[in-house]
Amino acid sequence: MKFFWISTKVAIALILIGSLSACAIERMRSEQLFEQYCNEEGRVGQFIYQRVALSEEFFRPIPTDGKKLRQVDTSYYFDSNGEKLLIAKKPFKQIYTVNYWERKELSQVGPIYSVETTIVRKSDGKLLSKAVSLLNMQGKTSKYVPVQGVYCSTGRDSKGYHLSGKHHSNLINNTFYKQ
C-alpha cells in the first residue's frame, strides 16, 4: 500500500512537471514566432492609402458642457493646422465605415493576433487606411489565467504612450483633412 501512495505521488509530480514544461515550451515558441512577426517589414504600423478632404458639413462644435464633453468619442477629434475640431459621427458614418480593434488570428501558437483598425469608404469599398498591431497572448496559460497579452514594441510618442495604440486612435485624424 505504501508503494502505491509513493508511486501515485511520483506520477502526479511527473504530470505536473510535464505540464509546466509544456507551457514553458509553448510560451517560448510563441515569443519566438511573435518576435519574427513583429520584425517583418510592413506588417505593423499605420498605413494611409488615400487622404480624403472633409467639407464643413462633417464637423460639429466641440461641447463646452463637461458632461457632454466626457461622452465624446475621442477618436473623432480632429486637429487641422492647430485648430481643434470634432467630426460629426452621423454624416461621417453614412459614407465611411470605421472598424476598431478587430482581431485576426495569425497563429494558434500563443495565440498571436493581428489587431486592425480600418477605414473604408462605403460607396466603392475602398480601404483608405489601417492601423495594425500584433498581440501575443503568451501561451496556453492565458486560457486559464487572465492575461492581457503583449503588443509589438513600436516605440513611444513624446508623451510616453505606446505608438501601437496611438496608431489606432489617431487613424481618422491622419486619414482625413479639412477642406
Task: Round to whole Å and give the CA distance between 81 and 144.
Answer: 48
- Residue-wise pLDDT tens digits, 141-159: 545 555 567 888 776 667 7
pLDDT number for residue 167: 86
- 15 vs 135, which has greater pLDDT? 135
Q: Give the phi and the psi of residue 104 in degrees, each rounded to 5.
A: -130, 125
For residue 110, the model assigns a pLDDT of: 79
d(CA 85, CA 63): 11
The dihedral built from the CA positions of residue 45, 138, 112 and 147, taken in this order, carries a sign that is negative
Cell numbers found for residue 81: 493646422
* Strand order through the sheet with 59-60: 59-60, 83-87, 77-80
Q: Do residues 167 and 45 lie in contact, with contact meaning Cβ atoms separated by under 8 Å?
A: yes
Beta bridge partners of 102: 116
The pLDDT value recorded for residue 142 is 47
pLDDT given for residue 41 in this prediction: 87
Least confident span in 83-97, 110-124, 152-166: 152-166
Mean pLDDT for 103-127 is 93
Q: Is 3 a residue whose pLDDT tops 70?
A: no
Range name among 94-98, 110-114, 143-147, 159-163 with the lowest pLDDT average: 143-147
Query: What whole-number distance in Å separates Cα of residue 28 and Cα of residue 22?
Result: 10
CA distance 82 to 102: 31
Using 50, 70 and 90 to split pLDDT, how confident is the model at 59?
A: very high
Question: In this predicted structure, what is the pLDDT of residue 24?
Answer: 61
